[in-house]
Amino acid sequence: MALKIRSTSSLDNLSWIEPIGNLTDFNDLFQDLQKQAYQSVDWMKLMIPKDDKLWHLIEGSYSDVAYQSLLALFEVLSENSSTETVIPVASKEFTEGHKQRFIETIQNVIFEAGEDNAATEMMAELLVNHKEELLKLLNTLFVDNYEDTNLCVKILSLLGDYSYEELKPYSQSIALASIANKSPRIKSAALNLFAHWGNKDALRLLMEVDEPTEPWIKMKYLSIKKSLEERCSMQEK
Partner 1 sequence: MLYARKISEDGWFYKDDNLDADSISELNVKGHGLSVWKVLNASNKIDVDKIGLALAMINPKVEEFYMVLIDPANLASDYKWAIAFIPQPGATRYSNMKDEHTNFEVKSMWELGFLTEHIHKLIQDEKNYRYYNVSDLKKMAYDAAKNGNLTKKDVDGCQWKTAIKEMEKMYGELTEFWK
Residues that bind partner 1 (CB under 8 A): 113-114, 184-185, 188, 192, 195-196, 198, 214-216, 218-220, 223-224, 227-228, 230-231, 234-235
Helix (H), strand (E) at residue 9: none
Burial class (CB in 10 A: 0-12, 13-18, 19+), 10: exposed
Tell me whether residue 19 or residue 184 sits nearer to partner 1 (CB atom). Answer: 184
The least CB distance from residue 224 to partner 1, in Å, is 5
Comparison of 134 and 156: residue with beta carbon closer to partner 1: 156
Report the nearest approach of partner 1 to the CB of residue 167 (Å). Answer: 19
Q: Which of 179, 186, 132 is nearest to 157 (CA)?
A: 186
* Closest separation in Å from C-beta 234 to partner 1: 5
CB of 196 to partner 1, least distance (A): 8
Smaller CB separation from partner 1, 91 or 181: 181
Q: For the CB of residue 204, give the shortest distance to partner 1 in the complex, in Å.
A: 17
Could you give the CA distance from residue 215 to residue 208 in angstroms, rounded to a whole number? 19
- Cα–Cα distance for residue pair 197/6, rounded to 1 Å: 59
Nearer to partner 1, 61 or 183 (CB): 183
91-130: buried (b, 16+ CB within 10 Å) or exposed (e) per residue?
Answer: eeebeeebbebbbebbeebebeeeeebbbbebbebbbeeb
* Smaller CB separation from partner 1, 136 or 226: 226
How many CB atoms sit inside 10 A of residue 141's CB?
21
